[in-house]
A and B are shown apart, each in its own frame.
Chain A
């Protein structure tokens, strides 16, 4: 067997080992969530209804003003589908992405650092949010209701979901990693998180001037409506490649910030349980 083939076999094996680890940790997460079945159903169901109420208000708005800067009710519905669905899968499978400051402050990274798996991946995958299941189900339901049901439409919607979830995750990882540099950053990161979640459900095109700059810099929620929704509306291969490149760039950036910050991790003596 040639050297290249051997290396590719080894890296293929590594990927398989990593996937098996992820499947097991997700299975454990789900089992842990299902320990409280009523709570699980209520939380997921309430989030679904909560999102639906927001869409109801948007429908009232668009009934009065049918087009705003080129956006119609259907676009808003798809924005909500992509935004809630992306947030949902990211929070289901990697539910610790917005909890890095509290994990770092209470010394909860110790357990990940003593086990032989990539710290960031391990800590992200170690929590499953129950409400996120409602968000994800809502995203799929809205796509089923108002989306493009062709194969191309489904693929673009899936790509939109992947990109929006990744943007949520990568930005919160970068913001959360500030805790390593500035100490207690839980409050500010929570604020960024809340602003990001609410602003990601508004079309970026309705904002102008400083507000628009704000949406693409300080709280870059504008990318959620710009990139995934741009995909669905433009269906242009160049745009798809650009959106993927920006998302990968954000991933690389946030991973670097996290690992540089991790060198400054000071642990702690709080009593900690997992799950």
Chain B
């Protein structure tokens, strides 16, 4: 069954162009200049029920605009979309009963009130039968471990606690399709992890289709089965996450802080790793996961060096996109081939250990 389908979906905005400075402002007052800016261009996409799709791209790529069209917030400039059988901008109300939305930067919780009050309001908005609502609320409170925060005003919750309440609120009416726009933005590693687990669990147990935009490669790896990468408003890549992991997300960055009496990097070699930078006792390594495993590298590091601190990170999404872009343009340009792949893993520079 198809959860959503788009055909040549486009959205452009009319944006005022202004020269810098006061003179520019005055000129724009009398002779305003407008330009048409394309936010989304020719998006063709089909998502099946039960899929978990990551919709990725750098800032300004058109991720949020696409989600806003798919949820009925924005009208497209041209093209079509069908979400659960409805045209979002025409059948907004009917569709809203069946979808859930979580916008990382826009809260549906009332700021001065405890989450419980918003939950009650949501039960009226979605016209839930009170016995069903109470049972569902109890279940979500247990799963999301919300009991300690339920009666605390939202303004006094941490970002992570608030986000868990936001996601629980969006699940109250059992949506068939959940749109998440940057749900892990600004959260620490542990909270991100917990939120990913919760979404994954609801997808598995209730078959909820998940359509998620993110800036974080971790969201894709741990939560989604399919990734769609957009850039400059158009689709750059549509692939299984497994394939993405094998071909593109095949690097991790390890940052080490060595103890003063530790041997230096030059004295040691670990297969499948490169030194990206080496400043004093601080060293950054890029690990090629197609050649080695991260646990092997970590054990080797522990054996060779005396460590004060260590962190393992995914490459930033911008670098991954540069890499995909490099692959798509046939290796031409500065981000071509192996160079781009290495950059995707660890940024500029580096030498093999």
Contacts and interface: CB of A to CB of B under 8 A. Distances in A.
Nearest to A266: B13
B75 interface: yes
B74 A32 contact: no
B266 interface: no
A111 interface: yes
Contact of B113 (A28, A110, A113): A28
Interface in B74-121: 74-75, 92-94, 96-97, 99, 101, 103, 105-113, 117-118, 120-121
A267 B73 contact: yes
A275 B73 CA distance: 20
Contacts of B111: 32, 273-275
Interface stretch (B49-57, B122-130, B228-236): B122-130
Given A24-B124, A110-B103, A116 B109 contact: no
Interface string A235-275: 00000000000000000000000000001011101111111
A31 interface: yes
A267 B74 contact: yes
A28 B110 contact: yes
Contact of A272 (B74, B105, B118): B105
A20 B127 CA distance: 9
A145 interface: no
Contacts of B154: 273
A21 interface: yes
A111 B126 CA distance: 13
- Number of chain B interface residues as a range: 35 or more
Interface in A99-153: 107-111, 113-118, 122
A25 interface: yes
A146 to B, nearest CB: 37
B124 A21 contact: yes
Contact of B74 (A21, A266, A269): A266
A17 B127 contact: yes
B256 to A, nearest CB: 35
Nearest to B99: A114
A35 interface: yes
B72 A113 contact: yes
B254 to A, nearest CB: 33
Given A24-B120, A24-B121, A113 B126 contact: no
Contacts of B106: 107-108, 110-111, 271-272
B64 interface: yes
A275 B110 CA distance: 5
A28 B109 CA distance: 11
Contacts of B101: 114
Interface in A31-57: 31-32, 35-36
Interface in A78-112: 107-111
Contacts of B94: 116
B208 interface: no
A269 B64 contact: yes
Contacts of A25: 121, 124
Contact of B117 (A28, A267, A272): A28
B125 A35 contact: no
B142 to A, nearest CB: 24
Given A267-B68, A267-B73, A275-B110, A113 B92 contact: yes
B337 interface: no
Most chain B CB neighbours (cut-off 10 Å) among A32, A36, A115, A271: A115
B125 A113 contact: no
B95 to A, nearest CB: 8
Given A31-B117, A113-B72, A265-B74, A275 B112 contact: yes
Contacts of B331: none
A263 B72 CA distance: 10
A109 to B, nearest CB: 8
A269 B67 CA distance: 13
B74 A116 contact: no
Contact of A116 (B68, B93, B105): B93
Given A17-B127, A35-B153, A116-B125, A263 B75 contact: yes
Given A111-B106, A269-B105, A20 B96 contact: no
Contacts of A117: 93, 125
Nearest to B114: A31
Given A116-B97, A267-B74, A274 B110 contact: yes
Interface string B5-22: 000000001001000000
A190 B113 CA distance: 29
Contacts of B108: 111, 115, 274
Given A17-B127, A24-B124, A273 B72 contact: no
A20 B125 contact: no
Contacts of B75: 263
Contacts of A271: 105-106
Contact of A115 (B64, B117, B125, B153): B125
B71 interface: yes
27 contacts: A20-B124, A24-B120, A24-B124, A25-B121, A28-B110, A31-B117, A36-B112, A107-B106, A108-B106, A110-B73, A110-B106, A113-B72, A113-B73, A113-B92, A114-B99, A114-B101, A115-B126, A116-B93, A183-B16, A263-B75, A267-B68, A272-B106, A273-B155, A274-B108, A274-B109, A274-B118, A275-B110
Given A25-B121, A28-B121, 18 more contacts: A17-B127, A21-B125, A24-B120, A24-B124, A31-B113, A35-B112, A35-B113, A109-B73, A111-B108, A116-B93, A116-B96, A116-B127, A117-B93, A267-B68, A272-B107, A273-B107, A274-B118, A275-B112
Interface of B: 13, 16, 64, 68, 71-75, 92-94, 96-97, 99, 101, 103, 105-113, 117-118, 120-121, 124-127, 153-155
